[in-house]
Amino acid sequence: MSSESKPDPPTSNVPDWVQAELFVDVLKETVQGFSKIKNFKANSGSAAGENYATIMLRVNIDVELEDGKEKSISFMLKLPHQSDMYKHMMEANNIFETEFIMYKTIVPELEQIYRDVGVEVKFGAKAYELKGVKTDYILLEDLAPKGFKNTNRTEGLDQAHTECALKRLSMWHAASMVRVATKGDYPDSISRGFYKEELRPTMDAMNKSLSENFLKACKQYEGNEEYIDQIIELLPKVTDEIYKLVKVDSQHLNVLNHGDFWSNNMMFSHDSFGKIKDICLVDFQLPKWGCVAQDLYYFLISSTKLEDKLTKFDHYIKFYHDNLLENLKTLKYSKNVPTLRDLHITLFKYGFWGYLTATGVMSAVLVDPTDTASLDNFLSDSTEGNDFKTLLYNNARYRKHIQEILPWLHNRGALQGF
């Protein structure tokens, strides 16, 4: 999700069905004194390389009120890509159905858990329904007019923004633990998430393509002789290791993982002095009940500043754990809570999430904006796809990060798989 307005961006990816009349009921619901639509325009809502999984549109509407005054309203509309590869993945795992459940049921439920103990928290944007639409979509309030915006993903988050995100993540995780303790397991679509057996062949093909391109680049990294043999041995087994990794083990801390917790999937608001006021999470398409290591590695390896990524890793884990304990206490959680030492043991055991993050989403976070940045190019082994992955793994910014991270992961035993 991107928050920046753009002057007359192209409208070629706006489907014909996105018409003003569809929004009348939503406007009646959200705009007090709504009378009629005066002007309607839908444009691209995110730049190349900022959103892989969906097409994001910003819908700008000028309305006339009953008293004759005019008002401008905007929404964010998420739509599926139309490629054959994307449609195949959607057949096995419809991320739009999952995200709709998240926005309409799961997110409000977790917010209510805090409200019940007198704490107001807003995890995500408000979602709306368009009547009569036959295709998959997610319609959300536009957070930009409220002062929320994304950070610069290539620079990485500083300590203040990282701790703000970890604090909110700990609230999310704590509420999910309370929810399962009091109401039982989440439905299968939430519990298993993206990692379904029927998607294993697709995931295997994707991992094969990524691994081949990563290995070519890895052979050029400084100091690779320390770990290259382990990576060569690991690569053919990546998919099998992932499916072992995602099995739920009650001996470790399990939460509802956001599943895609990186810097572009959170938006911050700031006061006039630049101090953080609030954070809002976006993109709830890939939730997964399971080990907390998934979200923690995914976020800290992909989205923090290079100078903090490893030197402050243990600090950030303690900060997260302190906040998790505080939130569980507030929510009167009655079950045993893992100690900080338990959490570190879990992170060592599940260290393969760190490798998957460093060779997966981190490469997309650090690459410069480019028109070739697309889900198809990330997943396919076409010439254009391979050229894009070469760019992902060979650019100077990524090399700086990965050349520090791989030895760190190697020394933690993370390159042995799971």
Q: pLDDT tens digits for 100-142? A: 999 999 999 999 999 999 999 999 999 999 998 989 999 999 9
Residues in the chain with pLDDT values less than 50: 1-11
Q: Which backbone phi and psi does 364 adopt, to 5 degrees?
A: -75, -30
Predicted pLDDT of residue 189 = 80
- The pair of three-digit structure tokens given for residue 152, joined into one six-digit string: 């610069």
Handedness of CA 50, 144, 271, 265 (dihedral sign): negative
CATH of domain 91-122+151-412: 3.90.1200
Compute and round to an integer the Cα radius of gyration of the chain: 22
d(CA 299, CA 363): 13
Predicted pLDDT of residue 149 = 95
The crossing angle, in degrees rounded to 10, of helices 352-359 and 396-411 is: 170
Predicted pLDDT of residue 257 = 98
pLDDT tens digits, residue range 334-352? 999 999 999 999 999 999 9
- The pair of three-digit structure tokens given for residue 417, joined into one six-digit string: 């798989």
Beta-bridge mates of residue 233 = none
Predicted pLDDT of residue 52 = 66
pTM of the model: 0.93
Angle at 133 between CA 48 and CA 193, to 5 degrees: 60
Per-domain residue ranges for the chain?
91-122+151-412
Question: Cα dist. 195→173, 198, 234, 375, 377 in Å?
Answer: 20, 9, 20, 18, 21
The amino acid at 278: D
